[in-house]
Amino acid sequence: MKSGASPKGLRGYRRPHPGTQPQYNYPPYVSTQKRCPTQPLVLPPQTLSEITGPVFGYGDVKPTDNDLTRQHKGDPVGERIIVSGRVLDENGKAVPHTLVEIWQADSAGRYRHKTDQHNAPLDPNFSGAGRTLTDAEGRYRFVSIRPGEYPWRNHYNAWRPAHIHFSLFGPAFLTRLVTQMYFPGDPLLPYDPMFCSIENEAARNRLVSLFDWESTIPEQALGYRFDIVLRGREATPMEK
């Protein structure tokens, strides 16, 4: 690539290891069937358009946006938790100053959303959304409550395991990631088609957080550690 190239040439992003990402058509998750492409995807070379992406900064988030327990007059019901970790790339390098957005159900498994008709009580002191930027070492931290499990209509007696939705940008269009964090030892995990859509066991388990004694605050909140890995750079430039 001539114009726009750095002296070393642009470096593309690595392709996913087989089995570590879900397929678009995964019949056990019923809604995928009418919402997946049926034609083969086109595999183009990565260009400047894909190795760049939107840049967010400290002007986009308030320092308190990472505390979901202090968005209302009263305290939300439930078990307080600290969710923290690092955002790394596949080469183990920290991803600094990147936007992390989360959303989740309240402790009864209810979302503050007009289409959530589950008859569990809605916590008036919990909105369920937060955001933050990673620091220079790729670290992030949220304060929240442990979300409840809830039923859905995918199959008979279907329940989603407790989870927190995560959305990350990373440095490029190609590093965009939306995922879910699960909790260790959740008995619903083996029954969950979303979790089970990831064929590779190690990749699946990467989405399960770990209980973290070190970030646990005595008499206040349990700590869970959740490290997130975004696509990393290829070792060699895309083109001379």
Using CB under 8 A as the binding rule, the residues of this chain from 193 to 232 that contact other proteins are 194-195, 197-198, 200, 202-204, 206-207, 228-232
Q: Is 119 in the site for other proteins (CB under 8 A)?
A: no
State which residue, 116 or 217, has the beta carbon closest to other proteins: 116
Backbone angles phi, psi at 235, to 5 degrees: -70, -30
Altogether, the residues listed in the chain come to a count of: 240
Catalytic residue among 146, 163, 231, 233: 163
Q: How many residues bind other proteins (CB under 8 A)?
A: 89
Q: Does the annotation mark 156 as catalytic? A: no
Cβ–Cβ < 8 Å for 166, 98: no
The alpha carbon of residue 123 and the mean position of all alpha carbons in its chain are separated, in whole angstroms, by 23
Residues 120-149 touching other proteins, rule: CB under 8 A, are 127-131
- Count of alpha carbons within 13 angstroms of residue 52, beta-carbon side: 7
Q: Is 21 in the site for other proteins (CB under 8 A)?
A: yes
Q: Does the annotation mark 111 as catalytic? A: yes
Residues 44-83 touching other proteins, rule: CB under 8 A, are 44-55, 60
State which residue, 176 or 225, has the beta carbon closest to other proteins: 176
Q: CB of 27: closest distance to other proteins in angstroms?
A: 12
Catalytic residue among 13, 150, 182, 224: 150
Backbone angles phi, psi at 110, to 5 degrees: -120, 135
Q: Does the annotation mark 163 as catalytic? A: yes
Total Cβ atoms within 10 A of residue 160: 23
Catalytic residue among 111, 140, 182, 224: 111
Give the range of 76-84, 106-114, 138-146, 214-222 binding other proteins by CB under 8 A: 106-114
Q: How far is it, in rounded angstroms, from Cα 79 to Cα 220? A: 9
Q: DSSP string of 174-200? A: GG-EEEEEE-TT-TTGGG-HHHHT--S
Q: Which of 63, 156, 157, 178 binds other proteins (CB under 8 A)?
A: 178
Q: Does the annotation mark 160 as catalytic? A: yes
Give the range of 76-84, 99-107, 183-191, 215-223 binding other proteins by CB under 8 A: 99-107
Pairing label, strands 99-104, 129-133 = antiparallel
Q: How far is it, in rounded angstroms, from Cα 194 to Cα 185? A: 17
User: Among all residues, which ones are annotated catalytic?
Assistant: 111, 150, 160, 163, 165
